[in-house]
Amino acid sequence: MNIALIIPSFYPATVYGGPIFSSLHTSEELSKLEDINVFVSTTNANMKSRLDVETNKWIKFKNNFFIKYYNETKINFISLSLLFNLWKDIKQADIVHIQYIFNTTTPIALLYATLFKKPIVLSPRGALCNWCLKQGSKFKKLWLYLFIKPFITRIHWHTTAQQEKEEVLIQFPKAKISIVPNGIELDKFQFSNKLSKEEFSIKFAKQKLNIDKIIVSMGRLQKKKGFDILIDSFNKLLKMYPHAKLFIAGEDESEGDTLRKQIENLNLKEKVFLIGSIHEQEKIDFLSNADIFVLPSHNENFGNVYIESLAVGTPIVASRGTPWSEVETYKCGKWVNNSIKETTKAMLELLEEDTELMKINSMKLSEKYDWKYIALKFQLLFKEEIDEHSKIK
């Protein structure tokens, strides 16, 4: 089975956050399965720059896993090279997996896949939530009508949770949809360096702080993540835990200055710390040494960082704009509206729970999301779609 993964940006463009890692790990695990070859067609876009990679040729990333980077003519908008050459990549595929909605790569890939009569799986990556549709361009509805709807009978949608499935159905009521969640490299999260609270503050705030509770959050600094709600909620939590500290990790994506101003206005400069991007072992140590992880995002189709926090045993507060209701079933977190009142209440309640029991429960929940199991679900989805498509032909 030759899988063509069409995606506007790909590893090592980690500046785009979780989707880069989830698409990478899916591809890696699929390529390990028997008789599967993964061919990723992407661009060299890297937010405000371009990746330093060879373009317009297949690069072997691992066995049975190849990447072709097309030059992004206008970064984050269009690649003329991809526009005129992507058909070659799609023609040799058995199935075409397209990721994202509001990118010029998507209608181009849909058109070529249709012309060559290839089965299509489309992952919207959370782009169809009500909150997301109201953000940015006013032409999103028109985009859906002009560039997605004409292909709707050929598309098998992939969503990461029931919530995202329902978002697709609002726009396309007759859509065919399968749910396959994101996963985690579980083995990588089994070891963390134990840090005292003083060591944690020196490592991540670059100063020695008086701390009794460590609250952490992580994500690109953008409006969608709800960091403003978190900061206001944390400010109220200080009435009960005056020595608590909040650490927010993530690449600044337009919201950093606004958050810094909010921190200053609330007189929290010695309480709240924006520490920038962290990766690999540093991220694991950051998450594992916290008392709780909190991210009141307006919307996440999955939210990789939630499962990463659970994997190291740190309970989470997730908003109802995310699919993480099961943390309440497993008793390792709270799933609440992303209001200041409910976020504050959830944090206070978690800080009073049995820490060791929540750690055990958190790690137990994370086990079901190991990438090797997720890859098998994708394999089944792709195989069934290819088989069904061959019957129609």
**Whether 190 and 163 share a structural domain:** no
pLDDT in tens, 55-87: 999 999 999 999 999 999 998 889 999 999 999
| Same domain membership, residue 236 and residue 103 | no
Q: Tell me the β-bridge partners of 74.
A: 78
Position of tokens 């060591």? Answer: 199
In terms of Cα–Cα distance, which of 201, 230, 231, 200 is closest to 319?
230
28 and 159: one domain? yes
User: 154-158 long-range CB contacts below 8 Å, 24 or more apart?
Assistant: 154/110, 154/113, 154/114, 154/119, 154/120, 155/110, 155/120, 155/121, 155/122, 156/119, 156/120, 156/121, 156/122, 156/381, 156/385, 157/121, 157/122, 157/123, 157/124, 158/97, 158/121, 158/122, 158/123, 158/381
Residue 392 has pLDDT above 80, yes or no: no
Is 216 found in the same domain as 160? Answer: no
> 191 and 177, same structural domain?
no
Same domain, 309 and 328: yes
Please determine, for residue 393, whether its predicted confidence score (pLDDT) is greater than 80.
no
d(CA 388, CA 346): 46
Q: Are residues 241 and 98 in the same domain?
A: no
Per-residue pLDDT of 1-12, as tens digits, reads 999 999 999 999
Are 314 and 329 in a shared domain?
yes
Structural domain total, the chain: 2
Q: What is the CATH classification number for the domain harbouring 61?
A: 3.40.50.2000
- Asked if 134 and 240 sit in the same domain, the reply is no
Residues 209 and 332 grouped into a single domain: yes
Q: With contact defined as beta carbons under 8 Å apart, do 179 and 159 qualify?
A: yes
Beta strands of the chain (E only): which ranges? Answer: 2-6, 37-43, 45-46, 49-50, 58-62, 65-70, 95-99, 120-123, 155-159, 176-179, 214-218, 245-249, 272-276, 292-295, 316-319, 333-336
Nearest to 227 by CA among 296, 319, 320, 307: 296
CB-neighbour burial class of residue 392 (10 A; exposed 0-12, middle 13-18, buried 19+): exposed
pLDDT digits (tens, 9 = 90+) for 196-254: 999 999 999 999 999 999 999 999 999 999 999 999 999 999 999 999 999 999 999 88
pLDDT at 208: 95
23 and 123 part of one domain = yes
Q: Which domain holds residue 233?
A: 186-368
Res. 162: pLDDT tops 80 = yes
pTM, rounded to two decimals: 0.83
Q: Are residues 198 and 255 in the same domain?
A: yes
Tokens representing 99 are 């990721």
